[in-house]
Structure 1
Amino acid sequence: MTIAQATRPQESFHYSARSRERTIVEATAANNLDGSRKTLIAPGYALPLGVRDCCDGFNFAVFSRHAERIELLLFDRPNCAEPFLTVELDSVRHRSGDIWHALIQGLKWDQAYAYRAYGPWDPLHGMRFDGSCLLLDPHALAVANTAAWRNEVPPLLRPRENPVQRFPSAAKGLLARRFFDWQGIARPRRSWSETVIYETHIRGLTIHPSSATEHPGTFLGLIEKIPYLKDLGVTAVELMPVQEFAERDGAPTNPISGESLRNYWGYNTVAFFAPKETYSTQAAPGCQIDEFKLMVRELHRAGIEIILDMAFNHTAEGGVDGSTFNFRGLDDSIYYLLDDQGQYLDFTGCKNTLNCGHPVVRDYIIDCLRYWTTEMHVDGFRFDLASVLGR
């Protein structure tokens, strides 16, 4: 083992794994909430993808076939401008096949993380790597500081000559707790012959004052409407997209007031595993997970199933003039359908098309559906523009 220390309190610590099996980092940073800390860094495991709380730390794993180097950035809080630790994932110690990984001990719940991916800038061959972009984990279970999306992420038309090293306005993945008390409530398991589906929108159902809810426009607001749904004879609620999307990114402005408008519907997903932060009370980082589960539990208690609308046909990253959140920056040619000039094929009307026929993307979709059914207790799905999944 090797012990390294960041001696100046205004600097975060950068760790490179070259030629080391395991390292203890003792880092002191300006945004370190607890002063000096010790963090154990080990190679970790390639599977499962995303972040998993292991008995000996948090394991991080992310896919990128064509990246030459990956950095994992760790933040004390989602709104921190600087990481307290940057871990360079060395291709010898921290890469298995196309998956980059690390096991880190000494982290805490509700801390935040993101990646930077370095590689060639070669759009003709579907490579748009830019080390200045802070990238979300495609498997992030919760995304925090999403209000930042209203003012950031310019079009990635070419790599930036002067990489930005501070991220005061960037959304980040969260080290989110997964435990929840389901109180033994089982799924209703309704037959098709008794199924009555009520399609609705989480925000739209209760945001107006006439809904008379304590938590308008949220998962908890839907709970307050369960008696109304039961009176209608509803046995299943189908929700328009509740996965994290950038409601302000690329949205138009009010032609009269100039006010920035929000994307209401949510068919421009950024993080398919993560419930939308602004559909929660935002009482604490990551509370959207617990509040979504609470909504599901109470619907099930009332005998009502829950169906999610999933838009796997495209993402919020758009075309070449769109923002970069994760997929484009991690491996553009894997995640998207491109023509022989490296341009995005648009079979969706949304400027890009997910490469659902690729084994990596197909596994990603299956992993996502498995998570929502097993971890979040969702009963079914509706697939938006489902024909694209077969391309």
Structure 2
Amino acid sequence: MRRTPTHHRPLHHARTTTPLTVIGGGFAGLTAAITAAEAGAKVTVYEAHHTLGGRARTAEGPYRTNEGPHALYSGGPHWTWLTQRNLIAPLAPLPPLEAARLRLHHRGALRRTPPFGMLRLLRPRRTGQRAPIDADFLTWATEQAGEEAARAAAHYAAVALYHHDPGSLSAAFVQERLRRATKLPPEAHYPRGGWASVVDRMAARAWNLGVRMEALSRVDSLDTDGRAHGPVIVATSLPRRPPPVEGRLADLAERPTALVDLAVRTRRGDAFAVSDLDAPGWIERFTAQDRTLAPVGEQLIQGQFPIGPQESRADGVTRAERLLDLAFPGWRDRVTWQHEATASGRTGAVDPPGTSWRDRPAVDRGDGVYLAGDQVAAPGVLSEVSFNSALAAVSLALGRRPKDTLDLKHA
């Protein structure tokens, strides 16, 4: 496990006698471990891999890729929590000229502006139209702005969903993510060096608080393993979490995504990012804001293309290459490194029509077992769900009332 020095002094709390086990050393697991240790619990973290981070890992080597495009949203509660503890590494600001190079793929061509009707959906506060929970986004948005704008907006929202059909999800759910993804000034920020810099600081914070961290320690059973002591917070991917998840939610969360990473020799005029409005997909040049992610003279590009039920990874890669042809002329002759992968279970929390975050798997599973992660019954966008569920899990595990009034019992 990486351990880096930190100059932030641990907070002082009256110690409790509660031992607490955290299974999983990703963002949710580390949040839970730090919060519990600050409250005085004796915490042990078991991580199956040799490094911490989970989905927030950053690859080592000359090309520092995340597992798909990543950003840290400043509008959520985890931003304040991380900032107060000095856990957000120096940020890599996006130069204004680069920000102006966002392109939208619509009707087979790259454009600078979205369809006019889509603007009505991007600024719901101005129109006063709050999307309903019971309707799917495509149906509701078509009534507001027409089918073309509705499909374009749904596909744009895919950057915050990793989902192949955002239009089929709850209108309220998609509208919130669309608003956050298009807010001005932008909420998306980029830790310099990738998400590993945040993970390293969190690990150091946990270490300084006395958290015991066991790498290469997979825990497959809470009943027979024998390593768990006291309450257990399970912060790993849902397929391995007990008890099983309801089929409808699990099926929605398990659609795969094609990930395309490549490095190309630098060339003026390359786009910063491309959102596919004709189908769900996103490509981003991460060295536009952080030159440390690739060797000098090279640009690091990452893309995510959700795969539908009748598609393969090859189909997703083909869509990515079409966008690359438009946004990065001559990229095939400039490639210095390339990697393709299929990511499963990256969708995180998704809400079908008629459901909200309260209908996801509950934090409290009974018998001293609590869930934390991005598919759990807690509000927020992307990693904010992991953060909120981790805090709720710690509060419940230590016998304290969560700070909010959320219904965190079995949904």
* TM-score calculated relative to the size of structure 1: 0.26
- Write 1 or 2 for the structure with the bigger share of helix: 2
- Write 1 or 2 for the structure with the bigger share of strand: 1
* TM-score calculated relative to the size of structure 2: 0.25
User: Which of 1 and 2 has higher RCO (CA within 8 Å, sep 6+)?
Assistant: 2
